[in-house]
Every structure is written in structure tokens, then in C-alpha cells.
A and B are shown apart, each in its own frame.
Chain A
């Protein structure tokens, strides 16, 4: 199964980025073999709609679940429409997040966890 984790840098040992739409990278991980492919988030500097654009990027990777800190309403709606499960409130490193996921320790989030524009500075 492919899962996407928001990350503040490349690689499996980097910290989970608490923001979704404004996350620096997405770690796309295959849970079969823990292979990690880090892709930069092009929406990071988007003027608006970063959450939707980021959600579309993740949809295109074929991921079936997203692990992140917080997820806004527009992103949540997009991910849900694409049938991607959201696990918010995740912290630590990408690797730790994957392990927690595999161990069934994460709870699926049913809706947005923050208002719009959470990850914007100002």
C-alpha cells in the first residue's frame, strides 16, 4: 500500500511536517518495502488553494492514505473525494509515522482538523 507523509525535508528520517498544504515535501512510501520517494510540494508557495493543489499531487501518486499534522477543510474534502484516508495529529519522523501506521496505532480522521490558512504565516 502506498501512503503519503508530509515531511519537512527529503528522506525517511526527516521530521513530519505538521502542515499539509504548506508542507515542504511529501514522502511517498510503499509499506511493502519501506521504499521512500520524496517529492517537493509545489503548492508550498501558491498564493491560494494550497491544500487543494497539494491534495491533487497526492492523488496523482496513487497513495491511499495521508499521514500529517493538520489538515484544512478544502484539502480534507479533496482527499475524501479521492477516497484517500487521512490520519492527522501525526508527529515524529517519517519512519516513526510509518511504523505507527503499520502497527495500527493511528486513528483515521473524519474531517478537517484546522481552519483554512493554518499553515500560512500571517
Chain B
């Protein structure tokens, strides 16, 4: 392969089988002898490790800077509170300045602007990044601290820690919010996983809008094909979106999932579906 390809597996809502697609795809490509890096960007609820069962070799704490105020130095100018867009620092007068670490976005505005040098940076832990190997697959995921809101920063750090391989697979958090946008930055190709139901179609449309806005090449995978109607397929036809794979609604797949087994291990007959998906991705990505 000429260059590294980064593929993101995303979906407009949770529970569509995104992780099933991402982990099994990683596995068949690795077995094909390619260097694969799987990174789980769903830092609020990572679950790729349940299926890939990686050997974790490294773990590091991720911190972000938040303000620390030396109230003795404060000259009551009020600038810190005015600049903060997040209500994370407030000046109450009489040298009283309150900070709220859980609201801070580390924009640096307050400590850059404080004319008295009363504000310095301290570190706040937002989560950890663990990495290791699952067979031939290089594995990494982020785990956000409970109650922390800084998933975007953690995803950013996680992506920076990825080492070059032939192929990088990003398991993207569900939805279309900021953490999704962060996960999709700089990827080459997106797979949107959906279920063929009215709800699935609704969320698929939202996801399509997002990737179109971000100008990323994408295609669709339909999971649990057969449970709903053909509206998703019709929509894709109308919009000229390729459907790269349809994974049938097979009770045995759900069973494998529920006990943390990979589909391609539990049901080898599906292996060709995933190798086919990989070939389709390569073709589409070159378009």
C-alpha cells in the first residue's frame, strides 16, 4: 500500500453495531498481513477492548491546563471573568476570584489576559490512554474520568499517540456532537453504520450531513439487515451513497456479541463479508 489510510467507523446513534464492524474489520485486515492500528475514540464508553482483548502495555494519564489564582496578586480588573466563555472563572470583587475546573475548556484566555500575573496554570487529569496489542493489531483507547466533560481533548491526545501503520481504524463515538467531529478530523474515509429502521434512517441522515460538511469521503454499512424496511437503501440510492456491506440480522451474531466474541471467530462464514468490505473500502477511498 502506498500510503497510510485512516478509516473512521461512525454512526448517528449508539447500538448500531459500530464496534462489531470496526473490530472485525481490523482483525481480517491484520490476518491479511497488513499493519493495523485500532483506536477506540468512544472515550466515554470504550468497548472495543471487550472483543479485541488486548494486552495493555502502556498507560498514561492525560492532563489539561486549568487556572490557579493567587488572590493576593489580583488587582480586581475583572478581565478573567469577562473573557471566559464557559463561566469557569468568575471575579466577585475584593480580590475574590473563583474557578470551576469542571467547566474550563483550557482556552488560555484568563491567564494570558490577567494583567497582574495572578493566574497560573495547574494540571487537571481528564483520563487515561492505554495502548498495547491484540494479536497483530495495535490497540489503543482512551478512558475519560467519570464526570469529566473534556472528551474532545482526550480524543485529540489519543489520535496523536497513534503510530503509523498501513491502516488506522478509528472507532468513533455515536452521535454527531463535538467528540464525533474531533474523531473525524483528518480521516481519509468514513463508514457510517446504520440499521434499516426509521430511527436508523433519521440518525443516518444527520451523520451524512455532518460528514458532507466536513468534506470526507464516506459510504454506508447496513447492520442487522432484514429487521426493518428498505428506506435506508432507497435513501442511499437517491443520494448516490455506496452501501459497502450488509450484515444480516443473525441471532448468532448477537449471541457472539453478548459474550464478547468476534464475529469472524465465532462464525467464520462471515469472514468473507469483512474481507469484501475491506476491498470495497480500498476501491471507494481511491475514487
Interface of A toward B, CB cutoff 8 Å: 43, 46-53, 55-56, 59, 74, 77-78, 81-82, 116
Contact = CB atoms under 8 A, between A and B. Distances in A.
Interface stretch (B40-48, B85-93, B213-221, B232-240): B85-93
- Dominant secondary structure at the A interface: helix
Given A74-B103, A77-B98, A49 B92 contact: no
B96 A49 contact: no
10 contacts: A49-B84, A49-B86, A49-B87, A52-B90, A56-B81, A74-B102, A74-B103, A81-B96, A82-B92, A116-B102
A46 B93 CA distance: 23
Chain B interface residue bracket vs A: 10 to 19
Q: Which 6 A-B pairs have the closest CB atoms?
A: A49-B87, A52-B87, A53-B87, A49-B103, A49-B86, A48-B86
A59 B97 CA distance: 13
A59 B98 CA distance: 13
Contact of A74 (B81, B85, B91, B100): B100
A49 B91 CA distance: 14
B98 A50 contact: no
A47 B90 contact: no
Contacts of B81: 56
A48 to B, nearest CB: 5
Contacts of B98: 52, 77-78, 81
